[in-house]
Structure 1
Protein backbone atom coordinates (compact mmCIF):
# COMPACT_ATOMS: atom_id res chain seq x y z
CA UNK A 1 0.00 0.00 0.00
CA UNK A 2 1.14 3.59 -0.66
CA UNK A 3 1.02 5.48 2.62
CA UNK A 4 1.62 9.14 3.43
CA UNK A 5 2.66 9.55 7.07
CA UNK A 6 2.38 13.07 8.52
CA UNK A 7 4.09 13.65 11.86
CA UNK A 8 3.84 16.77 14.03
CA UNK A 9 5.94 17.21 17.18
CA UNK A 10 8.83 19.64 17.69
CA UNK A 11 10.99 17.35 19.86
CA UNK A 12 13.02 14.61 18.19
CA UNK A 13 13.44 12.81 21.53
CA UNK A 14 9.75 12.86 22.54
CA UNK A 15 7.54 9.86 23.19
CA UNK A 16 5.52 10.93 20.16
CA UNK A 17 8.72 10.77 18.07
CA UNK A 18 9.29 7.19 19.18
CA UNK A 19 5.71 6.27 18.23
CA UNK A 20 6.22 7.88 14.82
CA UNK A 21 9.41 5.85 14.25
CA UNK A 22 7.69 2.63 15.22
CA UNK A 23 4.74 3.32 12.90
CA UNK A 24 7.04 3.96 9.94
CA UNK A 25 9.20 0.91 10.71
CA UNK A 26 6.13 -1.34 11.06
CA UNK A 27 4.66 -0.16 7.76
CA UNK A 28 7.99 -0.57 5.94
CA UNK A 29 8.38 -4.07 7.40
CA UNK A 30 4.97 -4.90 5.89
CA UNK A 31 6.30 -3.87 2.49
CA UNK A 32 4.31 -0.64 2.20
CA UNK A 33 5.64 2.32 0.19
CA UNK A 34 6.01 5.25 2.58
CA UNK A 35 6.26 8.99 2.06
CA UNK A 36 7.03 10.29 5.55
CA UNK A 37 6.66 13.98 6.39
CA UNK A 38 8.05 15.38 9.65
CA UNK A 39 6.42 18.81 9.46
CA UNK A 40 8.83 20.43 11.92
CA UNK A 41 11.97 18.96 10.36
CA UNK A 42 10.69 20.09 6.94
CA UNK A 43 10.02 23.62 8.26
CA UNK A 44 6.43 23.45 7.06
CA UNK A 45 4.83 26.88 7.24
CA UNK A 46 1.32 26.47 8.69
CA UNK A 47 0.34 30.11 8.19
CA UNK A 48 -1.94 31.00 5.30
CA UNK A 49 -1.16 34.56 4.30
CA UNK A 50 -3.66 37.00 2.77
CA UNK A 51 -2.51 36.51 -0.84
CA UNK A 52 -2.77 32.73 -0.54
CA UNK A 53 -6.26 33.01 0.93
CA UNK A 54 -7.40 35.24 -1.93
CA UNK A 55 -6.33 32.56 -4.42
CA UNK A 56 -7.37 29.61 -2.25
CA UNK A 57 -10.08 28.42 -4.67
CA UNK A 58 -7.88 28.77 -7.77
CA UNK A 59 -5.54 25.80 -8.29
CA UNK A 60 -3.33 27.87 -10.59
CA UNK A 61 -2.46 29.99 -7.55
CA UNK A 62 -1.37 27.10 -5.32
CA UNK A 63 1.89 28.10 -3.55
CA UNK A 64 4.94 26.19 -4.77
CA UNK A 65 5.96 25.15 -1.24
CA UNK A 66 2.80 23.01 -1.00
CA UNK A 67 3.37 20.90 -4.11
CA UNK A 68 5.38 18.13 -2.40
CA UNK A 69 2.58 17.66 0.15
CA UNK A 70 -0.17 17.76 -2.47
CA UNK A 71 1.67 15.26 -4.68
CA UNK A 72 2.00 12.82 -1.77
CA UNK A 73 -1.66 13.22 -0.84
CA UNK A 74 -2.80 12.49 -4.39
CA UNK A 75 -0.36 9.53 -4.65
CA UNK A 76 -1.34 7.85 -1.37
CA UNK A 77 -3.84 5.08 -0.75
CA UNK A 78 -3.72 5.73 3.01
CA UNK A 79 -2.82 8.57 5.34
CA UNK A 80 -1.43 8.25 8.86
CA UNK A 81 -1.26 11.18 11.26
CA UNK A 82 0.93 11.06 14.37
CA UNK A 83 0.74 14.01 16.78
CA UNK A 84 0.15 15.07 20.39
CA UNK A 85 -3.25 16.39 21.40
CA UNK A 86 -2.80 19.90 22.78
CA UNK A 87 -5.72 21.94 24.12
CA UNK A 88 -8.09 19.17 22.97
CA UNK A 89 -6.96 19.36 19.34
CA UNK A 90 -4.10 18.99 16.92
CA UNK A 91 -0.97 21.18 17.11
CA UNK A 92 -1.00 24.39 15.08
CA UNK A 93 1.47 23.08 12.51
CA UNK A 94 -0.80 20.12 11.69
CA UNK A 95 -3.91 22.32 11.59
CA UNK A 96 -2.02 24.57 9.17
CA UNK A 97 -1.14 21.54 7.05
CA UNK A 98 -4.85 20.75 6.66
CA UNK A 99 -5.75 24.41 6.07
CA UNK A 100 -3.16 24.84 3.32
CA UNK A 101 -2.77 21.37 1.73
CA UNK A 102 -6.30 19.93 1.91
CA UNK A 103 -7.50 22.80 -0.25
CA UNK A 104 -10.32 23.21 -2.78
CA UNK A 105 -9.59 21.33 -5.98
CA UNK A 106 -7.33 18.91 -4.08
CA UNK A 107 -9.33 17.56 -1.13
CA UNK A 108 -12.78 18.75 -2.10
CA UNK A 109 -14.81 20.63 -4.67
CA UNK A 110 -17.29 23.37 -3.89
CA UNK A 111 -20.34 23.18 -6.19
CA UNK A 112 -20.80 26.49 -8.04
CA UNK A 113 -24.49 26.53 -7.17
CA UNK A 114 -23.94 25.79 -3.48
CA UNK A 115 -24.86 22.65 -1.61
CA UNK A 116 -22.69 19.96 -0.07
CA UNK A 117 -19.03 19.89 -0.97
CA UNK A 118 -17.80 16.97 -3.06
CA UNK A 119 -14.90 14.83 -1.74
CA UNK A 120 -11.93 14.52 -4.10
CA UNK A 121 -9.48 12.33 -2.17
CA UNK A 122 -11.12 9.12 -3.33
CA UNK A 123 -7.67 7.54 -3.69
CA UNK A 124 -7.44 7.40 0.12
CA UNK A 125 -8.95 4.16 1.41
CA UNK A 126 -7.61 4.17 4.98
CA UNK A 127 -6.81 6.74 7.63
CA UNK A 128 -4.72 6.10 10.73
CA UNK A 129 -4.27 8.37 13.73
CA UNK A 130 -1.94 7.97 16.71
CA UNK A 131 -2.11 10.67 19.35
CA UNK A 132 -1.30 11.24 22.99
CA UNK A 133 -3.10 13.36 25.58
CA UNK A 134 -1.90 14.82 28.84
CA UNK A 135 -5.51 14.76 30.00
CA UNK A 136 -7.17 11.65 31.44
CA UNK A 137 -9.68 9.61 29.44
CA UNK A 138 -12.74 10.97 31.24
CA UNK A 139 -11.78 14.60 30.52
CA UNK A 140 -11.10 14.05 26.81
CA UNK A 141 -13.96 11.67 26.06
CA UNK A 142 -16.72 12.62 28.51
CA UNK A 143 -16.20 16.27 29.39
CA UNK A 144 -14.72 17.56 26.09
CA UNK A 145 -16.32 14.88 23.85
CA UNK A 146 -13.00 14.54 21.97
CA UNK A 147 -13.19 17.49 19.54
CA UNK A 148 -9.92 16.53 17.83
CA UNK A 149 -11.26 13.11 16.91
CA UNK A 150 -14.47 14.66 15.57
CA UNK A 151 -12.52 17.03 13.30
CA UNK A 152 -10.49 14.17 11.83
CA UNK A 153 -13.12 11.45 11.55
CA UNK A 154 -16.35 13.39 11.03
CA UNK A 155 -14.83 16.21 9.01
CA UNK A 156 -11.57 15.53 7.21
CA UNK A 157 -12.09 11.81 6.64
CA UNK A 158 -15.23 12.56 4.64
CA UNK A 159 -13.04 14.24 1.99
CA UNK A 160 -11.87 10.69 1.18
CA UNK A 161 -15.34 9.35 0.42
CA UNK A 162 -17.77 7.32 2.47
CA UNK A 163 -16.03 3.94 2.65
CA UNK A 164 -12.72 4.86 4.28
CA UNK A 165 -11.62 2.55 7.08
CA UNK A 166 -9.90 4.19 10.02
CA UNK A 167 -7.71 3.38 12.99
CA UNK A 168 -7.66 5.89 15.86
CA UNK A 169 -5.35 5.19 18.81
CA UNK A 170 -5.00 7.47 21.82
CA UNK A 171 -2.85 7.20 24.95
CA UNK A 172 -4.38 9.32 27.72
CA UNK A 173 -2.62 10.81 30.80
CA UNK A 174 0.67 10.34 28.95
CA UNK A 175 2.70 12.67 31.17
CA UNK A 176 2.09 10.60 34.29
CA UNK A 177 2.33 7.01 33.09
CA UNK A 178 5.20 4.60 33.65
CA UNK A 179 7.81 3.55 31.12
CA UNK A 180 6.13 0.14 31.07
CA UNK A 181 2.75 1.64 30.15
CA UNK A 182 4.36 3.75 27.44
CA UNK A 183 5.99 0.65 26.00
CA UNK A 184 2.71 -1.29 26.20
CA UNK A 185 0.95 1.40 24.18
CA UNK A 186 3.80 1.49 21.64
CA UNK A 187 3.53 -2.28 21.18
CA UNK A 188 -0.24 -1.91 20.70
CA UNK A 189 0.42 0.69 17.99
CA UNK A 190 2.80 -1.70 16.24
CA UNK A 191 0.31 -4.58 16.38
CA UNK A 192 -2.53 -2.47 15.01
CA UNK A 193 -0.41 -1.12 12.16
CA UNK A 194 0.79 -4.60 11.28
CA UNK A 195 -2.86 -5.23 10.31
CA UNK A 196 -3.49 -1.73 8.93
Structure 2
Protein backbone atom coordinates (compact mmCIF):
# COMPACT_ATOMS: atom_id res chain seq x y z
CA UNK A 1 0.00 0.00 0.00
CA UNK A 2 1.18 3.57 -0.71
CA UNK A 3 1.11 5.45 2.61
CA UNK A 4 1.62 9.17 3.16
CA UNK A 5 2.92 10.07 6.62
CA UNK A 6 2.57 13.70 7.68
CA UNK A 7 4.79 14.58 10.63
CA UNK A 8 4.32 17.86 12.47
CA UNK A 9 6.62 18.76 15.36
CA UNK A 10 9.37 21.40 15.51
CA UNK A 11 11.88 19.23 17.41
CA UNK A 12 13.74 16.27 16.00
CA UNK A 13 14.47 14.94 19.50
CA UNK A 14 10.85 14.87 20.67
CA UNK A 15 8.76 11.88 21.70
CA UNK A 16 6.64 12.73 18.66
CA UNK A 17 9.73 12.08 16.50
CA UNK A 18 10.13 8.69 18.17
CA UNK A 19 6.51 7.90 17.28
CA UNK A 20 7.15 8.97 13.67
CA UNK A 21 10.17 6.67 13.45
CA UNK A 22 8.23 3.70 14.84
CA UNK A 23 5.36 4.35 12.42
CA UNK A 24 7.55 4.59 9.32
CA UNK A 25 9.83 1.63 10.13
CA UNK A 26 6.87 -0.59 11.07
CA UNK A 27 5.02 0.21 7.85
CA UNK A 28 8.12 -0.32 5.72
CA UNK A 29 8.86 -3.62 7.48
CA UNK A 30 5.29 -4.71 6.65
CA UNK A 31 6.05 -4.10 2.95
CA UNK A 32 4.35 -0.75 2.41
CA UNK A 33 5.74 2.18 0.43
CA UNK A 34 6.01 5.18 2.74
CA UNK A 35 6.29 8.84 1.74
CA UNK A 36 7.22 10.99 4.74
CA UNK A 37 6.49 14.73 4.78
CA UNK A 38 8.07 16.56 7.74
CA UNK A 39 6.29 19.91 7.70
CA UNK A 40 8.74 21.75 9.96
CA UNK A 41 11.87 20.34 8.29
CA UNK A 42 10.47 21.36 4.90
CA UNK A 43 9.72 24.87 6.13
CA UNK A 44 6.10 24.42 5.05
CA UNK A 45 4.23 27.72 5.14
CA UNK A 46 0.90 27.11 6.87
CA UNK A 47 -0.56 30.55 6.18
CA UNK A 48 -3.04 30.82 3.34
CA UNK A 49 -1.98 34.01 1.56
CA UNK A 50 -4.40 36.61 0.21
CA UNK A 51 -3.42 35.56 -3.31
CA UNK A 52 -4.07 31.87 -2.57
CA UNK A 53 -7.43 32.68 -0.99
CA UNK A 54 -8.32 34.75 -4.04
CA UNK A 55 -7.89 31.71 -6.31
CA UNK A 56 -9.04 29.12 -3.78
CA UNK A 57 -12.04 28.04 -5.90
CA UNK A 58 -10.24 28.37 -9.25
CA UNK A 59 -9.32 24.78 -10.04
CA UNK A 60 -6.50 24.05 -11.04
CA UNK A 61 -4.95 27.49 -10.40
CA UNK A 62 -5.49 26.93 -6.67
CA UNK A 63 -2.72 24.29 -6.76
CA UNK A 64 0.08 26.70 -7.67
CA UNK A 65 2.97 26.24 -5.25
CA UNK A 66 1.57 23.14 -3.55
CA UNK A 67 1.69 20.67 -6.43
CA UNK A 68 4.14 18.31 -4.69
CA UNK A 69 1.97 17.98 -1.58
CA UNK A 70 -1.13 17.45 -3.71
CA UNK A 71 0.63 14.78 -5.79
CA UNK A 72 1.62 12.88 -2.62
CA UNK A 73 -1.92 13.11 -1.25
CA UNK A 74 -3.47 11.91 -4.51
CA UNK A 75 -1.02 8.98 -4.73
CA UNK A 76 -1.74 7.77 -1.19
CA UNK A 77 -3.99 4.87 -0.32
CA UNK A 78 -3.62 5.63 3.38
CA UNK A 79 -2.73 8.70 5.41
CA UNK A 80 -0.97 8.70 8.78
CA UNK A 81 -0.65 11.93 10.77
CA UNK A 82 1.84 12.12 13.64
CA UNK A 83 1.57 15.24 15.79
CA UNK A 84 1.20 16.50 19.36
CA UNK A 85 -2.22 17.81 20.34
CA UNK A 86 -1.77 21.36 21.59
CA UNK A 87 -4.59 23.35 23.16
CA UNK A 88 -7.02 20.52 22.38
CA UNK A 89 -6.37 20.66 18.64
CA UNK A 90 -3.90 20.42 15.81
CA UNK A 91 -0.65 22.37 15.80
CA UNK A 92 -1.03 25.51 13.65
CA UNK A 93 1.37 24.09 11.04
CA UNK A 94 -0.81 20.99 10.54
CA UNK A 95 -4.03 23.00 10.49
CA UNK A 96 -2.42 25.19 7.83
CA UNK A 97 -1.50 22.09 5.83
CA UNK A 98 -5.17 21.09 5.79
CA UNK A 99 -6.22 24.66 4.88
CA UNK A 100 -3.81 24.89 1.96
CA UNK A 101 -3.58 21.33 0.62
CA UNK A 102 -7.12 19.99 1.13
CA UNK A 103 -8.45 22.49 -1.40
CA UNK A 104 -11.36 22.36 -3.85
CA UNK A 105 -10.50 20.00 -6.69
CA UNK A 106 -8.15 18.09 -4.40
CA UNK A 107 -10.13 17.00 -1.33
CA UNK A 108 -13.63 17.94 -2.44
CA UNK A 109 -15.76 19.58 -5.06
CA UNK A 110 -18.77 21.76 -4.59
CA UNK A 111 -21.69 20.61 -6.67
CA UNK A 112 -25.37 19.90 -6.45
CA UNK A 113 -25.52 21.94 -3.25
CA UNK A 114 -23.29 19.55 -1.32
CA UNK A 115 -19.63 18.78 -0.81
CA UNK A 116 -18.51 15.82 -2.92
CA UNK A 117 -15.49 13.84 -1.67
CA UNK A 118 -12.49 13.82 -4.02
CA UNK A 119 -9.87 11.83 -2.09
CA UNK A 120 -11.52 8.47 -2.69
CA UNK A 121 -8.04 6.96 -3.13
CA UNK A 122 -7.54 7.18 0.65
CA UNK A 123 -9.10 4.15 2.32
CA UNK A 124 -7.55 4.47 5.76
CA UNK A 125 -6.44 7.28 8.06
CA UNK A 126 -4.44 6.89 11.25
CA UNK A 127 -3.61 9.54 13.81
CA UNK A 128 -0.74 9.10 16.27
CA UNK A 129 -0.83 11.86 18.85
CA UNK A 130 -0.15 12.76 22.44
CA UNK A 131 -2.01 14.93 24.93
CA UNK A 132 -0.69 16.66 28.01
CA UNK A 133 -4.18 16.50 29.49
CA UNK A 134 -5.50 13.73 31.71
CA UNK A 135 -8.06 11.42 30.13
CA UNK A 136 -11.02 12.81 32.09
CA UNK A 137 -10.34 16.31 30.71
CA UNK A 138 -10.22 15.04 27.13
CA UNK A 139 -13.66 13.51 27.61
CA UNK A 140 -14.93 16.72 29.22
CA UNK A 141 -13.53 18.94 26.43
CA UNK A 142 -14.86 16.59 23.77
CA UNK A 143 -11.83 15.29 21.80
CA UNK A 144 -11.80 18.17 19.29
CA UNK A 145 -9.14 16.75 16.99
CA UNK A 146 -10.79 13.32 16.94
CA UNK A 147 -14.11 14.87 15.92
CA UNK A 148 -12.39 16.84 13.13
CA UNK A 149 -11.03 13.64 11.58
CA UNK A 150 -13.93 11.29 12.31
CA UNK A 151 -16.74 13.63 11.25
CA UNK A 152 -15.05 15.89 8.72
CA UNK A 153 -11.79 14.81 7.11
CA UNK A 154 -12.76 11.15 6.79
CA UNK A 155 -15.89 12.10 4.82
CA UNK A 156 -13.69 13.49 2.03
CA UNK A 157 -12.02 10.10 1.51
CA UNK A 158 -13.19 6.69 0.25
CA UNK A 159 -16.58 5.44 1.36
CA UNK A 160 -16.07 3.45 4.55
CA UNK A 161 -12.63 5.00 5.15
CA UNK A 162 -11.30 3.55 8.40
CA UNK A 163 -9.94 5.82 11.15
CA UNK A 164 -7.36 4.52 13.63
CA UNK A 165 -6.65 6.68 16.70
CA UNK A 166 -3.49 5.95 18.69
CA UNK A 167 -2.94 8.37 21.53
CA UNK A 168 -1.12 8.84 24.78
CA UNK A 169 -2.75 11.09 27.37
CA UNK A 170 -1.03 12.77 30.35
CA UNK A 171 2.11 12.82 28.23
CA UNK A 172 4.11 15.11 30.52
CA UNK A 173 3.73 12.82 33.53
CA UNK A 174 4.71 9.53 31.86
CA UNK A 175 7.66 7.42 32.98
CA UNK A 176 10.21 6.02 30.53
CA UNK A 177 8.69 2.48 30.74
CA UNK A 178 5.21 3.91 29.99
CA UNK A 179 6.56 5.76 26.95
CA UNK A 180 8.28 2.59 25.76
CA UNK A 181 5.05 0.58 26.16
CA UNK A 182 3.20 3.17 24.07
CA UNK A 183 5.81 2.93 21.31
CA UNK A 184 5.46 -0.85 21.43
CA UNK A 185 1.67 -0.50 20.95
CA UNK A 186 2.25 1.82 17.97
CA UNK A 187 4.76 -0.63 16.48
CA UNK A 188 2.39 -3.57 16.89
CA UNK A 189 -0.51 -1.63 15.39
CA UNK A 190 1.29 -0.61 12.21
CA UNK A 191 2.99 -3.97 11.84
CA UNK A 192 -0.50 -5.46 11.37
CA UNK A 193 -1.41 -3.10 8.51
TM-score (normalizing by structure 2): 0.97
Partner of 2:135: 137
3-state SS in 2 of match to 1:36: strand
Partner of 1:41: 41
Q: 1:64 Cα deviation (Å)? A: 3.5
Q: Deviations over 1:127-146 (max 9, x none)?
A: 010000000111012x1010
* Residue pairs, 1:1-196, within 5 angstroms: 1-111=1-111, 113-114=112-113, 116-141=114-139, 143-196=140-193
CA RMSD of aligned residues (A): 0.9
8 Å contact from structure 2 (residues 60, 105) kept in 1? no
8 Å contact from structure 1 (residues 77, 123) kept in 2? yes
Q: How far apart in 2 are the matches of 1:65 and 1:40?
A: 17
Q: How far apart in 2 are the matches of 1:15 and 1:178?
A: 12
Q: Deviations over 1:139-195 (max 9, x none)?
A: 012x10101100011101110033111211110000111000000000000101111
Q: How far apart in 2 are the matches of 1:42 and 1:64?
A: 17
8 Å contact from structure 2 (residues 129, 166) kept in 1? yes
Number of residue pairs the alignment of both structures matches: 193
Structure 2 unaligned residues grouped into runs of 5+: none
Structure 1 unaligned residues grouped into runs of 5+: none
8 Å contact from structure 1 (residues 132, 174) kept in 2? yes
Q: 1:63 Cα deviation (Å)? A: 4.6
Which structure 1 residue ranges, 4+ long, deviate > 2 Å from structure 2? 62-65
Q: How far apart in 2 are the matches of 1:153 and 1:100?
A: 20
TM-score (normalizing by structure 1): 0.96
